[in-house]
Amino acid sequence: MMDNPEIHDAFVRLSQSENVRVVSRWAYPEKASDYLSKKIAGLQTVLEFQRDIMIPLAHVVLQRTARGFTFSGLENLTHKPTLFISNHRDIVLDAYFMQVILLENGFETSQIIAGTNLYVNEFVTDIALCNKIIAIGRGGSKRGFGEQMMQISGELRQSLAAADGRGSSVWIAQRNGRTKDRIDKTDPSIIHMLSMTGSIADYRIVPVTITYELEPNAAYKARHLWHLDHPEATLEENYMEQMLGSILQNKGHVHYSFHPAIDLGCPEGLSNKEYYQLVAHRIDEEILSGYHYWPKDELVERQWQAMTEAAPEEVRPYMQAFAPQYQ
């Protein structure tokens, strides 16, 4: 049974998209160029799209660009609706690779919170629609943003605190925008947003630490650091380029650490602001404890040197901030 008419229309557009043919030729060069188009045309549900299209593609990406893909802490997962809060190093890969782990280990995939600034064209919008993504707008008036946060908070409450068994897990980054300096810190306003429509005491929040041996989009992040020292320069955002870049770049090893659900208790006497900060601190403690490191890998070192040399000359001194870290 089809999920809904919007999903059906997205499948039709994707099955006819030249971008899908490009992806198909890259991922499956031994097959006909319409291989993925035909598969998508026969799909009925989001689950089928994720299971038959997105997960196999993720393994192609990992096989071609990663030295290893591992995870730990599955014993901390249950089939109850869970809010996964992770550090945020990459626009698409953070949530994408987590879906691989969930689906291949007997769990339902999660909904994903993402900014509408990433909806750069119809192709990306349709991919998002078929992957249970909840869009949060950027910009606009303070009042409009507050109303949207209230709406998102209500949607999350419906999923995470559903009493009818129809709830769904959700992934959200610990802060708005990727970490561009490797300092992973939860924004207390995320906790505030969750609390806008009621207490979060009944939520199940599982922190997740994501470690990439080679920092995704390191050259872009280094340019961001360079721009802090040269604010007079123009810093342009090309999200499509960044999304493709992180998918295609070498990653070294990748590891996901799932932590125990955090304590959401509130000590007596705390203000709401202090409570949001306390919960954010508890999430940070778990995330910061979960980084994974590997022995020095000569191939990864060569890949890193190539990435550094390919960066603009003025940016190269800032690349060191994102160099691989070893055991």
Residue 3 confidence class, pLDDT cut points 50, 70, 90: low
What is the spatial distance between Cα 280 and Cα 188, in angstroms, rounded to a whole number?
5
CB 210 within 8 A of CB 258: no
3-state secondary structure of 79: coil
Rounded to an integer, what distance in angstroms lies between the CA atom of residue 171 and that of residue 159?
12
Domain ranges of the chain: 69-318
Mean pLDDT of the 280-304 span: 97
Q: How many angstroms separate the CA atoms of 96 and 180, rounded?
A: 19
Give the residue carrying structure tokens 């561009």. 180
Main-chain dihedrals φ then ψ at residue 173, nearest 5 degrees: -75, 155
The reported pLDDT for the residue numbered 302 is 97
Query: What is the architecture of the domain spanning 69-318?
Result: 3-Layer(aba) Sandwich (3.40)
- Top pLDDT among 3 and 190 is at 190
| Rounded-to-integer distance, Cα 81 and Cα 15, Å | 32
Look at residue 304 and tell me whether its pLDDT is greater than 90: yes
Select from 104, 54, 86, 234 the least CA-distant residue to 170: 86
The residue to which tokens 């493709």 are assigned: 244
> What's the pLDDT score for residue 251?
98
| pLDDT single digits (tens) 4-31 | 889 999 999 999 999 999 999 999 999 9
Higher-scoring residue by pLDDT: 297, 179: 297
1 has pLDDT over 50: no
**Which tens digits make up the pLDDT trace of 63-121?**
999 999 999 999 999 999 999 999 999 999 999 999 999 999 999 999 999 988 888 99
Question: So what's the pLDDT on residue 210?
Answer: 98
Q: 93-104 and 55-65 helices cross at what angle (nearest 10)?
A: 120
Percent of the chain at pLDDT exceeding 70: 95
The helix (run of H) or strand (run of E) holding residue 7 is helix 5-15
Average pLDDT over residues 146-168: 84
Most confident of 15-19, 138-142, 225-229: 15-19
249 band by pLDDT with thresholds 50, 70 and 90: very high
Tens digit of each residue's pLDDT (9 = 90 or more) over 44-56? 999 999 999 999 9
Concatenating the DSSP letter of every residue in 137-204 gives --SS-HHHHHHHHHHHHHHHHHHHT-SSS----EEEESSSS--SSS-----HHHHHHHHTTS--TT--
- Residue 324 DSSP one-character state: -
Contact (Cβ atoms closer than 8 angstroms) between residue 73 and residue 258? yes
Helix H or strand E segment including 206? strand 205-212
Model pLDDT for residues 106-134, shown as the tens digit of each residue: 999 999 999 888 889 999 999 999 999 98
With b for 16 or more beta-carbon neighbours within 10 A and e for fewer, the 317-326 pattern comes to ebbeebebee
Q: Which residue, among 77, 124, 119, has the nearest Cα to 101 in the 3D structure?
A: 77
Enter the DSSP assignment of 293. -
